[in-house]
């Protein structure tokens, strides 16, 4: 009897807590009203893999040129990337000529992009994809090409005229917080005034953090996604530091994410050189939990079948793209295990269990079901499917039960919990 009433009190507390969450969701900040990024943007972005390679003489296959983007566009369609949702083919820094043209407009480097961006956009659109481009709020881009300061309206119009669908707006060479904040806001309004639907990807909070805490309510009103932390690189240290930054700041950043506006932990580096298999699984699983834009930076011409399967895993993509649009968070950290969870539509939950250990073998970890999903995920029972590292149906679990999982060092087990009361309805 006694146990029972404690149980009920726990249920009530948990229900109230989730009600509070729902109310908070309703009151959450307004998103940029351009109708875009209702789920996190998916696509490909050149930076991490191809950087600022200008040497088309000696490295024609990896320099930043229209040929690179046309090849990627073809592969995005022929190799099934588009079918699973990767839609935006995005150019980063180093596409420009060193000077603006005679009418002050930005122009693509004529040797590397002989057809110009308009031509490339047409090609990309003919494949059913969308084209992203890059510019900078300050006087120069990070690599030293012309910045947009003083030219926001002209540049927004130029991109719209070319048929661009996404703008990544960097924050290098900007001499004051005032210029930075006003510039990011102004460009958002300038893009809107063109009348073209253009996803607006910002780095505004990242450049603010050294000086003061960003106001995410404001940022969400102007940007479709925003970078908070340093660039990803092709290393486990980099992935770990991004996850650590995110969990450390989760109180401030998780609730602000939702349809139309997302925290951007930067590109997926799966399929490159620096991550082991388990570490690639960790990046894919946690980027899904974080409701992160899925922008791959890799070479689609040379990618292992295993990395391709991971990046094209429909179950994991479905978690990332879940229409409820709530970002997940780190639930707890104990010893060398972290548990993350994310609420999904239809009362489902995603749970990721990370093994932080970098020594030894697989780690066994027992999870009490009631500790997951604010106590309601498996009330009264649920069906659990392991999605990563391999798909396995684990079966039905009662609210009061527990289950044991096994996670490789630096790896992650990703689970999906479906409430049985929803399964019965269907
Ligand atoms: C511009 O903003 C208005 C008001 O927020 C919105 O209704 C409209 O759809 C936006 N247009 C574009 C192209 O984003
Ligand atoms: C750009 O350079 C001009 C001239 O030096 C300066 O007045 C202006 O504040 C700079 N803008 C930014 C955003 O750094
Ligand atoms: C953040 O900006 C919003 C309006 O965009 C404002 O209402 C709110 O007071 C600001 N928050 C802080 C802490 O300054």
In a domain, 269, yes or no: yes
Task: Indicate if 399 and 267 belong to the same structural domain.
Answer: no
Task: Indicate if 314 and 338 belong to the same structural domain.
Answer: no
Among 93, 155, 165, 170, the one annotated catalytic = 170
**CA angle, 87 then 91 then 96, to 5°:** 155
Task: Indicate if 230 and 340 belong to the same structural domain.
Answer: no
In a domain, 85, yes or no: yes
**Ligand 1: distance of its center to the CA of 36 in Å?**
10
Task: Indicate if 214 and 109 belong to the same structural domain.
Answer: yes
Task: Indicate if 285 and 421 belong to the same structural domain.
Answer: no
Task: Indicate if 201 and 310 belong to the same structural domain.
Answer: yes
What is the chain's Cα-based Rg?
22
Q: Is 36 in the pocket of ligand 2 (CB under 6 A)?
A: no
In a domain, 33, yes or no: no
* Listed residues 301, 320, 339: the one ending a domain: 320
Task: Indicate if 185 and 89 belong to the same structural domain.
Answer: yes
CB under 8 A, 24+ apart: contacts of 8-14: 10/370, 10/375, 11/375, 11/376, 11/379, 13/375, 14/374, 14/375, 14/376
**170 in active site:** yes
Total count of domains within the chain: 2
User: Is there a contact between 170 and 135 (Cβ–Cβ < 8 Å)?
Assistant: yes
What is the pLDDT, as a whole number, of residue 28? 60
Task: Indicate if 214 and 333 belong to the same structural domain.
Answer: no
Task: Indicate if 341 and 307 belong to the same structural domain.
Answer: no
Task: Indicate if 299 and 366 belong to the same structural domain.
Answer: no
Question: Which listed ligand is nearest to 185 at the C-alpha?
Answer: 3
Q: Is 122 in the pocket of ligand 3 (CB under 6 A)?
A: no
* Residues of the chain scoring pLDDT < 50: 1-27, 426
Q: Is 305 in the pocket of ligand 1 (CB under 6 A)?
A: no
Q: Which of 33, 37, 199 to mutate to test the pocket of ligand 1 (most atoms within 8 A of CB)?
A: 33
End-to-end CA distance of the chain: 34
DSSP per position, 116-169: HHHHHHHHHHHTT-EEEEEEESSSB-TTSSBP-TT-HHHHHHHHHHHT--EEEE
Task: Indicate if 414 and 268 belong to the same structural domain.
Answer: no
* Listed residues 270, 293, 320: the one ending a domain: 320
In a domain, 109, yes or no: yes
What is the distance between the alpha carbons of residues 330 and 341, in angstroms, rounded to a whole number? 7
pTM of the model: 0.94
* Listed residues 286, 320, 354: the one ending a domain: 320
Task: Indicate if 343 and 359 belong to the same structural domain.
Answer: yes
- pLDDT digits over 51-74, tens only? 999 999 999 999 999 999 999 999
Helix 236-248 vs helix 277-289: angle between axes, to the nearest 10 degrees?
Answer: 30
Domain that holds residue 247: 42-320
What is the pLDDT, as a whole number, of residue 424? 64
- What DSSP element (H or E) covers 25? helix 2-27
What is the distance between the alpha carbons of residues 316 and 372, in angstroms, rounded to a whole number? 19
Q: Is 221 in the pocket of ligand 1 (CB under 6 A)?
A: no
- pLDDT digits over 402-424, tens only? 999 999 999 999 999 999 876 66
**Ligand 3: distance of its center to the CA of 246 in Å?**
22
In a domain, 299, yes or no: yes
In a domain, 121, yes or no: yes
CATH code of the domain containing 126: 3.20.20.70
**pLDDT, the chain, mean:** 93
In a domain, 333, yes or no: yes
In a domain, 103, yes or no: yes
- Lookup result for tokens 């703008």: 167
CATH code of the domain containing 409: 2.60.40.1180
């Amino acid at each position: 009897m006694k146990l029972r009433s404690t149980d009920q009190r726990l249920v009530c507390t948990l229900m109230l807590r989730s009600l509070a969450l729902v109310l908070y969701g309703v009151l959450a900040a307004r998103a940029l009203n351009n109708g875009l990024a209702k789920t996190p943007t998916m696509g490909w972005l050149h930076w991490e893999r191809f950087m600022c390679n200008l040497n088309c003489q000696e490295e024609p296959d990896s320099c930043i040129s229209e040929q690179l983007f046309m090849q990627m566009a073809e592969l995005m369609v022929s190799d099934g990337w588009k079918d699973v949702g990767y839609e935006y083919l995005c150019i980063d820094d180093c596409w420009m000529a060193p000077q603006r043209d005679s009418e002050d407009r930005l122009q693509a480097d004529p040797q590397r992009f002989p057809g110009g961006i308009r031509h490339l956009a047409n090609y990309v659109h003919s494949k059913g994809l969308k084209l992203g481009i890059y510019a900078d709020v300050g006087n120069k881009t990070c690599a030293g090409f012309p910045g947009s300061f003083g030219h926001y309206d002209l540049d927004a119009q130029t991109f719209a005229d070319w048929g661009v669908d996404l703008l990544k707006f960097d924050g290098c060479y900007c001499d004051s917080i005032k210029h930075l904040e006003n510039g990011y806001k102004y460009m958002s309004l300038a893009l809107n005034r063109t009348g073209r639907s253009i996803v607006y990807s910002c780095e505004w909070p990242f450049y603010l953090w050294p000086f003061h805490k960003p106001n995410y309510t404001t940022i969400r009103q102007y940007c479709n996604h925003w970078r908070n932390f340093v660039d990803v690189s092709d290393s486990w240290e980099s992935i770990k530091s991004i996850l650590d930054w995110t969990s450390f700041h989760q109180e401030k950043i998780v609730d602000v994410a939702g349809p139309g506006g997302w925290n951007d932990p930067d590109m997926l580096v799966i399929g490159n050189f620096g991550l082991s298999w388990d570490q690639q699984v960790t990046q894919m699983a946690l980027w899904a939990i974080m409701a992160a834009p899925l922008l791959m930076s890799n070479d689609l011409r040379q990618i292992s079948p295993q990395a391709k399967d991971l990046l094209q895993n429909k179950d994991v993509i479905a978690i990332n793209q879940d229409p409820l649009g709530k970002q997940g968070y780190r639930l707890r950290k104990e010893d060398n295990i972290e548990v993350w969870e994310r609420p999904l539509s239809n009362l489902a939950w995603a749970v990721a269990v990370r093994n932080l250990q970098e020594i030894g073998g697989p780690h066994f970890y027992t999870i009490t079901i009631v500790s997951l999903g604010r106590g309601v995920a498996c009330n009264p029972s649920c069906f659990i499917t392991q999605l990563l590292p391999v798909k396995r149906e684990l079966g039905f679990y009662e609210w009061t039960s527990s289950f044991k999982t096994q996670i490789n060092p630096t790896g992650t087990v990703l689970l999906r919990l479906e409430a049985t009361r929803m399964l019965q309805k269907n």
